[in-house]
Amino acid sequence: MAQPTAGTGGTTGGTPLRRTPRQARSKARLALLLEAAERILVAEGVEALTTTRVAAEAKVSVGSLYQYLPDRGAIIDALATGYFARLEAVMDDLVRAASQERWDDPVGVLVDTYARVYRTEHGFRALWFGSGLTERTRAADREHKHRMADGIRRVLLALGVARDDEALTRAATAAILTADALAQEAFRRAPEGDAALLDEAKTMLRGYLTEIAARYEAR
């Protein structure tokens, strides 16, 4: 299959910015600020994400930064929103691919695709492995996981291996929470992801998918 890509650049999504950019020039300025913030995040960690530091990295005045991102929390929230949007776009690509292709190993496709995303999204890893997440970002992450679980549900329906009911929704949620925890641990252990742990995740999730499919066939 053609592999989906995560894309680049920050997005505002549902982030409560002090000012929402409308014009192309303003959107470009915000993107510049978020790119600067991500460089700092990757190189120096969450603790370095001060408004002064980001403004200096972007070569703009602190006042220009304050128009959109008034404090560190707003910077973190905006970065997280962009990462969530890119991860969800990859899931949407997988849903479309699942409706058009036959996958011999759906779990392998899903895990390998997201492992590639984790390898390229250095900012996402730096943010999630740091200690500076805001309550707003944590809440947004919970909503993000709901959307990702729904993506798994849609993939399984597209592949014709499950029935659309409450049990499938619950199973998709369990699968995404398990996969997320194992993926995070794999990439904490190694920048490219601990291959052995990712293989264990595949083994576990393949067994779970077999159980889900068996429930469907028994009805």
145 Cβ contact list (under 8 Å, min separation 6): 173, 176, 177, 180
Burial of 166 (0-12, 13-18, 19+ CB in 10 A): exposed
pLDDT of 111: 97
**CATH of the structural domain 73-218, one choice from 1.10.357.10, 3.40.50.280, 3.40.50.300, 2.40.50.140:** 1.10.357.10
What are the phi and psi torsion angles at 194 (to 5°)? -70, 105
Token pair recorded at residue 174:
């369990």
CB of 151 closer than 8 Å to CB of 94: yes
Q: How distant is the alpha carbon of residue 188 from its chain centre?
A: 16
CB of 3 closer than 8 Å to CB of 116: yes
Q: At 28, is the secondary structure helix, strand, or coil?
A: helix
Token pair recorded at residue 216:
């469907």
4: DSSP letter:
P
Cα Rg for the chain, rounded, in angstroms?
A: 19
Q: Which of 56, 37, 2, 19 is nearest to 124 (CA)?
A: 37
pLDDT of 8: 37
- How many residues are there in the chain? 219
Per-residue pLDDT of the chain (219 residues; tens, 9 = 90+): 444 443 334 344 444 565 566 678 878 889 999 999 999 999 999 999 999 999 999 999 999 999 999 999 999 999 999 999 999 999 999 999 999 999 999 999 999 999 999 999 999 999 988 777 899 999 999 999 999 999 999 999 999 999 999 999 999 999 999 999 999 999 999 999 999 999 999 999 999 999 998 988 876
What are the phi and psi torsion angles at 104 (to 5°)? -70, -30
pLDDT of 24: 82
Residue type, 102: R
Q: Which of 113, 123, 116 is nearest to 152 (CA)?
A: 113
CB of 205 closer than 8 Å to CB of 182: no
Q: How far apart are CA 26 and CA 28, in angstroms?
A: 5
E strand or H helix that includes residue 119: helix 106-120
CB of 40 closer than 8 Å to CB of 127: no
pLDDT of 16: 53
81 Cβ contact list (under 8 Å, min separation 6): 11, 12, 13, 14, 15, 140
Other beta carbons less than 10 A from residue 129's beta carbon = 12
